A and B are shown apart, each in its own frame.
Chain A
Amino acid sequence: METKKSLLSRLPVISQLKKSVGLQRGMLVAGIVLTLMFLLTAALAPLIAPYGATQRFDETQAAPSSVHLWGTTAGGYDVFSRTIGGAQTAFMVIVVAVALSIFLGVILGLLSGYLGGWLDRILVVVADAIYAFPTLLLAMVMSIALSQGRSDVWSGIFSAAISITVVFIPQYFRVIRAETIRLKAEPFVESAIVVGASSVRIMARHIYKNATRTLPLIFTLNASEAILTLAGLGFLGFGIEPSTAAEWGYDLNHAQSDATAGIWWTGVFPGVAIVLTVLGLTLLGESMNDLNDPRLRGRKRAAKKARKNAKELVDA
């Protein structure tokens, strides 16, 4: 069929980029650039960073210089290397946390929404109870329960990720459950019931794909929240030990006392890294959300004005 678009142009982010115009496109592009920067840094961290993230130097609190690009901390870590390494840690935590919470959240949401009854009621109450907890407190409790203070890289990452997972499962659960309940009343699900399809078949074949369309959007929004939670945990001292991996929240915590002494470089760089990463992911998620909704999506004016718009973009 000639109307069928190429696979590339139907991929999530790319298809939205094609649809966007004006300010929305600007936001999306900024989000994509920042997120790509984050991903590249995470992937190439060992190549970019001049030293290891856990390597200590004798010069403590040294100002930025050619040896230590962004200076060193009170503990003798190289700030540049730790900020770069922090991206890698953050990325792994996001992937593990979001993967776990999507997996559990989607399954529970489908079962709860489609089967209903007592299972639904119990799961909703549990999800609401988790919601009612302050997320950071919950994450702290989970982190203490899981890691009991000691840590190497992977157990640190996993305990941080699982603490975040617990907080996020209810979000995915709710979204999928609400979608499932809506879809349950759709004629195509009823027509599957009338045909005699089993509940498992209906959930797997008819509801699952339709209910998970919004997940990429929640994913990007949650990823930024996961970074904040991870940084929060690290800042409060429940995160990953500095001797095992670089982590922005921990560095930020230890930069507190430096700031009053005029040592700005230990706090600014990890702080800016958190801000840019969260901003990038939020911009990406929000603008994809807007572009996916035809009512929120801006469109070109027909005919002449479209050309003017395009020109403005080129000029910008």
Chain B
Amino acid sequence: MNDQHIVSAFDRDLEGIQAHVMKMGGLVEAAIGEAANAMVARDQELAEQVRAADKAIDALEELINERCANLIALRAPAAVDLRVVLSVMKIAGNLERIGDYAKNMAKRTSVLVHMEQVEGAHASLKRMAHEVQLMLKDVLDAFIQRDVDLARDVLERDEGVDQMYNALFREFLTFMMEDPRYITPCMHLHFMAKNTERMGDHVTAIAEQVVYLVTGSMPEDARPKATRLDA
């Protein structure tokens, strides 16, 4: 298929929207990384920056939705163009949620710096956040390159994140049982871990949108899902 529309402004609109998604994705990626760094380094200033940066992410989501609404109204997109618009709106929603989780992580970091440090817990939480960050980077690449294989790869990797969360859950439980003074910080850390796990789910949802965008149908649910709650 030819890549270009007869009406070139249509191409410009579509490209513009996708560029905004990539920009938004970049900001969210950075937010995850910095929120994790702030947590490990107990850096309140960096945590504050992450919280402040979320406004730009929210503004981009609004802008993307507005542009998509305009494009639907003015250009009546069909087939792949329609799928781009639909998936972009959902992806922007997912990115916004991930941004919120990163912000929440930073918020809890600001609380944690005033508490006793839980030795050893931060490293695995940071690894988990790092993995989600990598998955997000890959899924954004998959989106812009229309790479279904890479999107499917991201879908598979979410299970690893879930396992990391389960391991952390057990670890926090152990800390809390050892010393009740750790209960409050560990509760915060647990929420951070849970939020990171949810970020992974949103990345997965983005990967599904990429599959839909390229193939026209949602991926068949082949992803192994751990439904056990016996962690």
A, B: real partners: no
